A and B are shown apart, each in its own frame.
Chain A
Amino acid sequence: MSHSADHADKRTIEIHSAGEADARGHHSHVIVSQRVLLAVLGLLLFFTLATVGAAQAEAWIAHTYNVVIPQWVNVFVALSIAAVKTIIVAAYFMQLRYDNPMNTCIAVFTVFVLAFFFGFTMIDLGTRHAIYEWKGREVVLGGSATVPENSRVNAAKKVEQLVKDGVTPPEFLCHFASEEIDRLKAKKAEIPEYLHAAVAMGEKKYGAHGHHGHDHGDAHAPSENTPNRSRAFTGLTIKELMDTPADGKHDGKDHKHAPAGGH
């Protein structure tokens, strides 16, 4: 540094807080001393080496002692050191400590928004499999442009076919529920509560061994479940379904018998 800067170094640093003003109401801007800047740089380099050291140590421990260290340890250590580094960069290099507190509020608010973003996204996407097992975690390679079996598009086609076969709207639920029930039975899994009503309705209408025959030929049970597959939508927007019995559009067909052949 040049001489003038050296002299400036040695003069007294005004450690005002941002709120103080002189007689004329002017705030003086705090000049962070070279020593503080160099100390912060030293700390940052130290923490960088600590991050690398921690990662290497973790790998070494895992290899030498043959233990499996869970992933979250790695993430937690790395992120906490990174957070400390960020705080000292923001406080000293970006001079948040010496500045208008509003800027600190803005920075903290940003972190708060980040927490919301991360938190809600991970709560949603990280736990989809907990409610419906088949809304599992794997994302299909190639993306959801491949239309899975119980997607809305296929559901609409099936509904169309059902309508042609004369199955009325309330029974769609039964139909799609029966697919799910068949899938569960094939896996010898327990039928969950919300399907018991569907089982009862199906058995009432079509007998205990019902009309499920049409779907056994399908090898369409999704082999990979994806978060993008939602429950088949039973097509409330399809025109045919807007007709209610009161409209008199119910035809006189016999709905007691299963549509033959199905799909």
Chain B
Amino acid sequence: MTTLPSNQPGVLPPHETYVAAEHFRDRDHEFDAVKMGVWLFLATEVLLFSGLFVYYALMRLLYPEAFIHGSSLLDWRWGLINTVVLLLSSYTVAAGVRCAQVGDARGLRRNIIFTFIAGVLFLIIKFVFEYYPKYIQGKLPGKFYSYPNWVSPYEQHWWGLYWGATGVHASHVVVGMGLFIWLYVRSLKGHFGPKHYNAVEGVGLYWHIVDIVWIFLFPMLYLIH
């Protein structure tokens, strides 16, 4: 095991000696401010996805047959597996925050790894079992559409929505995974402990929003009958 600040005898790990930034009264003030800042950012993320959702609502209102047929071409079982994977990852993130709160650095790192693996699994399922088959069958958005068995001439709208919504969501998952790598490295350096775990909390909140968006996307895309 490499020599890290967290496991040198007599040296306090960084999370113990953390001092809040000057303009805050104390660590609690900084924690509250950071958390509120993250929530404000999450509000903008929700609004980002809501643009796609409004487009979905309108197009589904106008062309329901295109959506019903398009949804039947998706396999809801992969969607269900992805939903379960993301819910488990939400749990491991919350458990990781809890580990940081009680000072369990190993538990925190373990949960970060589990969450990262869940993200990888999500992306593998998405790209290998969903995106690639659709790509070779021509179920592509807009002008790239070339799948022959269409029911409504507006199915390009459906596929545009499918690829757009799940693509934006998947890019958020990728960003989240990068954040988890960052957290892991910082945890190795001993940055997180009961008195200082802002970043873990913040990334956890971001990951939960990603999960919540998928919670809405799953029935809206896969379960239209």
Assess the A52–B50 pair: CB atoms within 8 A. Answer: no
Q: Is B90 an interface residue (CB 8 A)?
A: yes
Assess the B225–A59 pair: CB atoms within 8 A. Answer: yes
Alpha-carbon separation in the docked complex, A79 to B223 (Å): 11
Alpha-carbon separation in the docked complex, A141 to B152 (Å): 11
Q: Which residues of B contact A82 (CB under 8 A)?
A: 215-216, 219
* Min C-beta distance of A56 to chain B, whole Å: 8
Given known A52-B76, A74-B224, contact A121–B58 (CB-CB < 8 A) = yes
Assess the B219–A78 pair: CB atoms within 8 A. Answer: yes
Q: Classify chain B: how many residues form its interface, as a range.
A: 35 or more
Alpha-carbon separation in the docked complex, A55 to B83 (Å): 15
Assess the B87–A48 pair: CB atoms within 8 A. Answer: yes
Given known A2-B106, A51-B219, A117-B54, contact A93–B39 (CB-CB < 8 A) = no
Alpha-carbon separation in the docked complex, A1 to B95 (Å): 10
**Which residues of A (15-54) have their CB < 8 Å from a CB of B?**
26-27, 29, 31-32, 34, 37-38, 40-41, 44-45, 48, 51-52
Q: Is A114 an interface residue (CB 8 A)?
A: yes
Instruction: Report the nearest B residue to A86, measured CB to CB.
Output: B212
Assess the B90–A107 pair: CB atoms within 8 A. Answer: no
* Min C-beta distance of B16 to chain A, whole Å: 16
Assess the A31–B28 pair: CB atoms within 8 A. Answer: no
Q: Classify chain A: how many residues form its interface, as a range.
A: 35 or more
Alpha-carbon separation in the docked complex, A100 to B80 (Å): 34
* Min C-beta distance of B88 to chain A, whole Å: 7
* Min C-beta distance of B48 to chain A, whole Å: 11
Q: Is B46 an interface residue (CB 8 A)?
A: yes
Q: Which residues of A contact B224 (CB under 8 A)?
A: 74
Q: Which residues of A contact B50 (CB under 8 A)?
A: 114, 117-118
**Which residues of B (20-50) have their CB < 8 Å from a CB of A?**
26, 28, 31-32, 35-36, 39-40, 42-43, 46-47, 50
Q: Is B101 an interface residue (CB 8 A)?
A: yes
* Min C-beta distance of B96 to chain A, whole Å: 11
Q: Is B168 an interface residue (CB 8 A)?
A: no
Given known A32-B94, A78-B219, contact A2–B87 (CB-CB < 8 A) = no
* Min C-beta distance of A34 to chain B, whole Å: 7
Q: Which residues of A contact B153 (CB under 8 A)?
A: 141
Q: Is A213 an interface residue (CB 8 A)?
A: no
Q: Which residues of B contact A152 (CB under 8 A)?
A: none
Q: Is B154 an interface residue (CB 8 A)?
A: yes
Assess the A38–B104 pair: CB atoms within 8 A. Answer: no
Assess the A27–B28 pair: CB atoms within 8 A. Answer: yes
Q: Which residues of B contact A62 (CB under 8 A)?
A: 225
* Min C-beta distance of B163 to chain A, whole Å: 18
Q: Is B124 an interface residue (CB 8 A)?
A: no
Alpha-carbon separation in the docked complex, A8 to B105 (Å): 13
Alpha-carbon separation in the docked complex, A8 to B46 (Å): 35
Q: Which residues of A contact B104 (CB under 8 A)?
A: 1-2, 4-5, 8
Q: Is A113 an interface residue (CB 8 A)?
A: yes
Assess the B212–A29 pair: CB atoms within 8 A. Answer: no
Assess the A34–B225 pair: CB atoms within 8 A. Answer: no
* Min C-beta distance of A256 to chain B, whole Å: 46
Q: Which residues of B contact A122 (CB under 8 A)?
A: 54, 57-58, 61
* Min C-beta distance of B43 to chain A, whole Å: 4
* Min C-beta distance of A230 to chain B, whole Å: 18
Assess the B211–A89 pair: CB atoms within 8 A. Answer: yes
Assess the B36–A118 pair: CB atoms within 8 A. Answer: no
Q: Is B114 an interface residue (CB 8 A)?
A: no
Q: Which residues of A contact B91 (CB under 8 A)?
A: 37-38, 40-41, 93
Q: Is A210 an interface residue (CB 8 A)?
A: no
Q: Is B220 an interface residue (CB 8 A)?
A: yes
Alpha-carbon separation in the docked complex, A114 to B47 (Å): 7
* Min C-beta distance of B124 to chain A, whole Å: 20
Q: Is B102 an interface residue (CB 8 A)?
A: yes
Q: Is A85 an interface residue (CB 8 A)?
A: yes
Alpha-carbon separation in the docked complex, A2 to B32 (Å): 29
Q: A78-B219, A82-B215 are in contact. List 14 more A-B contacts (CB 8 A).
A: A2-B107, A48-B87, A51-B223, A52-B76, A55-B219, A55-B225, A82-B216, A82-B219, A89-B215, A90-B212, A106-B43, A122-B57, A122-B61, A126-B61
Q: Which 9 A-B pairs have the closest CB atoms?
A: A78-B219, A55-B223, A8-B102, A41-B91, A110-B43, A93-B94, A59-B225, A5-B104, A103-B39
Enumerate 6 A-B pairs (CB-CB under 8 Å) in ascending A order.
Answer: A8-B104, A37-B94, A41-B90, A48-B218, A86-B215, A110-B42
